[in-house]
Amino acid sequence: MAESGERELGRSWSAAVLSARPGEGTTLVATAAAALIDAETGPKGQNVILMDADLATAGLSRLLRAWRATGTGDEYGAGPAACDGRGLVGYALDRRTDLRDRSVQERLQDLRSPDGRTGDMALLALDGPGLSALAGLAGLPRILACAAQRLAELAGCLLVDCGSGWNERTRAVCESVDFVFVVGRAGDRTHPDTRRLAGRLEESGLLPKTIGHIANRPENVENRHGPQSAGGPRAVEDTLPLRTVIDLPYDPRAAQALARGSLSGPGSAFETALRRGMDALEPDLFRTGFDIY
C-alpha cells in the first residue's frame, strides 16, 4: 500500500484486467472503474485511457460505443484514424512505420458520457476493418505490449481489458503494466480454471504484481455452482495465492447504464462497492490518482 499523505497529481498507474473464463465481467469492471476514476479525478487534470486487448469479443469497444465522441481528440492528438474505428487494428497493421517509432496516440478516440460526468477518457478500440487479420499477425504480443507501454506514458491511469483465458498476448500485456486484477464469479476463486490462471501468472513471474481477485456477481445467485458445503464436491483447500480484494454485488443497472453511456449514480450498489474497494486499496485514489504497493 502507499504511504499516507497526498502525492503529486497525475502519477501514472496501469493495470490489466483479466479472467479465467468468458462472461466473468472484465469489461464491466474495467469500464466502471475508469468512469468512476475519471468522474472524480478528471476535473483535477488526471486523464484515463482504456485499451481493448480482448481479441475474442472486443467487449470494451462494443460497450463503449455510446461514449465515443465524434471529435478529433485534441487532448491526445488523435486524428482521423481514431474516428474511423481503426484504433488498435490500425496501430498493429501499420506497415509504414517501424514499431519503435509508431504512434499510438493518433489512434485514440475520446470518450464522453452523455450525462457529462466523465470527459477526460480515451479508448484504444479494437474494431473496424482488419480486425480478423490480427489473430494470425506475427509479433502481435510484442505489438500489444508496446501499445500498452506507450499508453501508460500518456495516461494518468491506464486500464487494459484482456478478456478471458491465458495466452502470449495476455502475458505480454500483463508484463507491460504495473498491476493485474483477476475478475471472477463470487465463490469461484478456488475453481480449477481460476487456479490454472493463477498458476500461469505464477509461472510467468507475475504474481507479485497481481493485486488479487475481484468477486463479481453478474447474476442474482450465490454462484453458478451452488453453495459450497464442508463435505461436498466444492470443498477445496484454499491454497490459492489470490485473495479477494473487492466483492461486487449483483446490480443489473450498472451494466445497463454503462451501455447507455453513463454511470448509474450514488444509488448503484455495484459502483458503490467498486469505489469503496478501490479506495480501500489506495486511500488517495480519488484525490491524486493511483499508487498501489
Return the C-alpha cell found at 87: 484504433
Q: Which phi and psi (to 5°) does residue 69 adopt?
A: -80, 155
Per-residue confidence of the chain (293 residues) as pLDDT tens digits? 333 334 344 467 899 999 999 999 999 999 999 988 888 776 666 788 999 999 999 999 999 888 876 434 444 444 444 444 479 999 998 888 999 899 999 899 988 877 666 667 899 999 776 778 887 888 999 999 999 999 998 877 899 999 999 999 999 999 999 999 999 987 777 888 999 999 999 999 999 999 999 998 766 544 444 443 333 333 344 556 788 999 999 888 888 888 888 888 878 899 999 999 988 887 666 765 544 43
Buried b vs exposed e over 4-15: b needs ≥16 C-beta within 10 Å? eeeeeebebbbb
User: What was the pLDDT predicted at 2?
Assistant: 38
Domain architecture of the chain: domains with CATH: 13-288 (3.40.50.300)
Please state, in angstroms and rounded to a whole number, the distance separating the CA atoms of residues 118 and 61. Answer: 17
User: What was the pLDDT predicted at 13?
Assistant: 83
Predicted structure pTM score: 0.84
Our measurement of the distance from residue 160's CA atom to the centroid of its chain's CA atoms, rounded to an integer in Å, reads 4
Buried b vs exposed e over 165-187: b needs ≥16 C-beta within 10 Å? bbeebbbbbbbbbbbbbbbbbbb
